[in-house]
Chains A and B, each alone.
Chain A
Amino acid sequence: QQQVKQSPQSLIVQKGGISIINCAYENTAFDYFPWYQQFPGKGPALLIAIRPDVSEKKEGRFTISFNKSAKQFSLHIMDSQPGDSATYFCAAMSIGAQKLVFGQGTRLTINP
């Protein structure tokens, strides 16, 4: 029940295209859903996060869509750029428990 399932494992998108990464969770107690971006040799860094009281959050080219009834959330990267090439992790937390549970990660490659 603590799992967060992420897909796809890897994704190749052309420059200017839309990158979409999906995550699903089981624990209905989760109430905080961040996305982290990790470049090779670096630690993960928070990209964008959402709480379940809204269905969408947008920051620049990055959008989280959240479907509470389906227990799914996704990251959309609009106008994808080569600099977006990185590994992306979705995560979920029950704020009361303070523990982030991470998905397995998606290696995104943006071809120029």
Chain B
Amino acid sequence: DAGVIQSPRHEVTEMGQEVTLRCKLISGHNSLFWYRQTMMRGLELLIYFNNNVPIDDSGMPEDRFSAKMPNASFSTLKIQPSEPRDSAVYFCASSLGTGGNEQYFGPGTRLTVT
């Protein structure tokens, strides 16, 4: 049974470019979370969806960041334009239902913006 799938695993881009990170949920899961991990700030929740609907996007740092769930099994996180301070590892996680159900994390996308 495949876990959460993220692509690409590594992304290097120049400042000002658009970056799109992709995530495929575990089959049957209906909650999707996007996190960012840096040494300085640790693991931060950016946004989460339940049944394809964004529930809380208060962690999205600024308007340059946007996330979508075009269908029940897939999500994208877009940064436009990217900046060096966006360099981080971005994780998505999925869970079945809400509340205290286990969140399963993907392997992450390491983003470097030069």
Is A112 part of the contact surface with B, judged by Cβ < 8 Å? no
Main secondary structure of the interface of A (DSSP, over half): loop
Asked whether, in the complex, the Cβ of B105 is within 8 Å of the Cβ of A45, the reply is yes
Q: Of B93, B98, B100, which one neighbours A43 at CB under 8 angstroms? A: B93
Residues of B within 8 A of A (CB): 4, 31, 33, 42-45, 48, 50, 55-56, 91, 93, 98-100, 102-108
Which of A13-21, A63-71, A73-81, A96-104 interfaces with chain B? Answer: A96-104
Main secondary structure of the interface of B (DSSP, over half): strand
Q: Which residue of B is nearest A98, CB measured? A: B98
Q: Which residue of A is nearest B9, CB measured? A: A41
Is A82 part of the contact surface with B, judged by Cβ < 8 Å? no
Asked whether, in the complex, the Cβ of B45 is within 8 Å of the Cβ of A43, the reply is no
Residues of A within 8 A of B (CB): 31-32, 34, 41-46, 49, 51, 89, 93, 95-105
Query: Which residues on A sit within 8 Å (CB–CB) of B45?
Result: 99-101
Asked whether, in the complex, the Cβ of B99 is within 8 Å of the Cβ of A46, the reply is no
Q: Which residue of B is nearest A43, CB measured? A: B105
Asked whether, in the complex, the Cβ of A104 is within 8 Å of the Cβ of B42, the reply is yes
A-B contact pairs, 14 of them (CB 8 A): A32-B100, A34-B100, A34-B102, A41-B108, A43-B107, A44-B43, A49-B100, A96-B99, A97-B56, A98-B50, A98-B99, A99-B56, A103-B42, A105-B43
Q: Which residue of B is nearest A96, CB measured? A: B99
**Contacts A98-B31, A103-B42; A41 near B107 (Cβ below 8 A):** yes
Query: Which residues on B sit within 8 Å (CB–CB) of A101?
Result: 45
Asked whether, in the complex, the Cβ of B42 is within 8 Å of the Cβ of A99, the reply is no
